[in-house]
């Protein structure tokens, strides 16, 4: 246990988030954690809407970041942070009232450099939201086990915290990444000797992509990010190529099942899910191929 609650800075990167950031900030205000120990920074990443105005109206500090991308926004937050711990929360997420206290607790172990909290969907209404929920695309426990398609553990920065010293010693997030920057950071911190921990009671509820187009675009970006991640670290990983045979097998199976389930599926969701499996598998593979060509590696 800590002798007293540590000072913590919450960094919330935001881009065109006016429609939902108010809910996020309300959840931050409801934290059961000494308010004198919390610094909250909303990093407005070149929004074209009223994101800054909404955050200011809620009484929070807003910092402008002209460099595009979530990595740049989070780095701006790291530079401004005063806490010994730095937590990251996405602007489209809502934190449970005990989130911060639970996220800080594992840092009582001096060997822990980073902590990932549990991520649940805010709602499951559309087919895309349902598929994301079933697949556990932001299953923090799975990510922290290092399960495929990733080779090493990492914490998704939708809901994560790090020691400020560990972040700064690692050089922060690599701004060359648009996706995959959280995995890159976590890998570097672990290679430097830091450990990651899971905080199952540090809960946030996240808005998954609601439309098919947005969801599939996100999956493709994830695929490209994994290729970039491999390109940067293949020497350390000791591999010339990264072929996700398991993922390829799942995609082929989904393509075969889709027409069968269309005819025999017991309900609309059962009929639709194989199509989502196939579409996301193809988009993820397309992203990896595009990333391979861009970064001159072989990953599929």
In total, how many domains does the chain have?
Answer: 2
For 176-219, the pLDDT digits (tens) are 999 999 999 999 999 999 999 999 999 999 999 999 999 999 99
List, in order, residues 6 or more apart from 191 with CB less than 8 Å away.
236
For 83-114, the pLDDT digits (tens) are 999 999 999 999 999 999 999 999 999 999 99
Are 132 and 214 spatial neighbours (Cβ–Cβ below 8 Å)? Answer: no
The pLDDT of residue 237: 85
Give the whole-angstrom CA distance, residue 31 versus residue 203: 12
The reply to whether 25 and 144 lie within a common domain is yes
Q: Does pLDDT of 2 surpass 80? A: no
Q: Does pLDDT of 69 surpass 90? A: yes
262 pLDDT band, cuts 50/70/90, is low
For every residue of 98-148, DSSP letters joined together read THHHHHHGGGGSTTEEEEEEEEEES---SHHHHHHHHHTTT-HHHHHHT-T
Task: Please indicate, yes or no, if residue 2 is contained in any of the structural domains.
Answer: no
**Lowest-confidence range among 11-20, 174-183, 273-282?**
273-282
Domain stop point among 172, 188, 206: 206
Structural domain span for residue 163: 8-206
Are 52 and 22 spatial neighbours (Cβ–Cβ below 8 Å)? Answer: no
Q: Residue 189, Cβ neighbours under 10 Å: how many?
A: 22
The reply to whether 149 and 179 lie within a common domain is yes
Task: Please indicate, yes or no, if residue 92 is contained in any of the structural domains.
Answer: yes
Task: Please indicate, yes or no, if residue 3 is contained in any of the structural domains.
Answer: no
The reply to whether 290 and 177 lie within a common domain is no
Task: Please indicate, yes or no, if residue 1 is contained in any of the structural domains.
Answer: no
Q: List the CATH number of the domain containing 180.
A: 3.90.550.10
The pLDDT of residue 90: 98
Give the whole-angstrom CA distance, residue 233 versus residue 177: 13
The pLDDT of residue 250: 77
The pLDDT of residue 148: 64
Q: Does pLDDT of 22 surpass 60? A: yes
Domain stop point among 182, 206, 230: 206
CA dihedral in degrees (170, 176, 181, 185; nearest 10)?
-10
The reply to whether 295 and 244 lie within a common domain is yes
Domain stop point among 184, 206, 228: 206
The reply to whether 248 and 145 lie within a common domain is no
The reply to whether 157 and 231 lie within a common domain is no
Are 224 and 291 spatial neighbours (Cβ–Cβ below 8 Å)? Answer: yes
The reply to whether 171 and 293 lie within a common domain is no
The reply to whether 51 and 195 lie within a common domain is yes
For every residue of 225-283, DSSP letters joined together read HHHHHHHHHHHHHT-SEE--HHHHHHHHHHHHHHHHHHHH-SSHHHHHHHHHHHHHHHH
The reply to whether 266 and 144 lie within a common domain is no
Mean pLDDT of 252-257: 78
The reply to whether 74 and 218 lie within a common domain is no
Are 171 and 136 spatial neighbours (Cβ–Cβ below 8 Å)? Answer: no
The reply to whether 147 and 295 lie within a common domain is no
């Amino acid at each position: 246990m800590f002798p007293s609650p540590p000072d913590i800075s919450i960094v919330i990167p935001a881009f065109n988030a006016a429609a939902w950031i108010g809910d996020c900030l309300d959840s931050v205000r409801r934290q059961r954690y000494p308010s004198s120990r919390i610094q909250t920074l909303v990093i407005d990443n070149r929004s074209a809407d009223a994101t800054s105005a909404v955050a200011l109206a809620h009484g929070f500090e807003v910092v402008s970041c002209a460099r595009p991308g979530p990595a740049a926004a989070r780095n701006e937050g790291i530079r401004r942070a005063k806490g010994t711990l730095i937590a990251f929360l996405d602007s489209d997420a809502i934190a449970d009232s005990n989130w911060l206290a639970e996220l800080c607790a594992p840092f009582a172990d001096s060997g822990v450099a980073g902590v990932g909290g549990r991520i649940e969907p805010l709602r499951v209404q559309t087919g895309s939201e349902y598929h994301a929920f079933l697949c556990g695309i932001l299953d923090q426990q799975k990510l922290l086990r290092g399960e495929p398609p990733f080779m090493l553990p990492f914490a998704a920065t939708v809901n994560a915290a790090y020691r400020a010293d560990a972040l700064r010693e690692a050089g922060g997030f690599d701004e060359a990444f648009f996706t995959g920057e959280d995995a890159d950071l976590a890998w570097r911190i672990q290679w430097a000797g830091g450990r990651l921990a899971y905080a199952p009671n540090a809960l946030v509820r996240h808005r998954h992509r609601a439309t098919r187009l947005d969801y599939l675009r996100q999956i493709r970006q994830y695929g490209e990010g994994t290729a970039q991640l491999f390109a940067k670290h293949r020497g350390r990983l000791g591999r010339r190529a990264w072929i996700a045979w398991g993922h390829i097998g799942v995609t082929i199976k989904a393509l075969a099942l889709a027409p069968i389930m269309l005819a025999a599926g017991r309900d609309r969701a059962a009929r639709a899910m194989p199509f989502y499996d196939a579409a996301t598998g193809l988009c993820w593979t397309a992203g990896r191929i595009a990333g391979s060509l861009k970064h001159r590696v072989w990953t599929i």
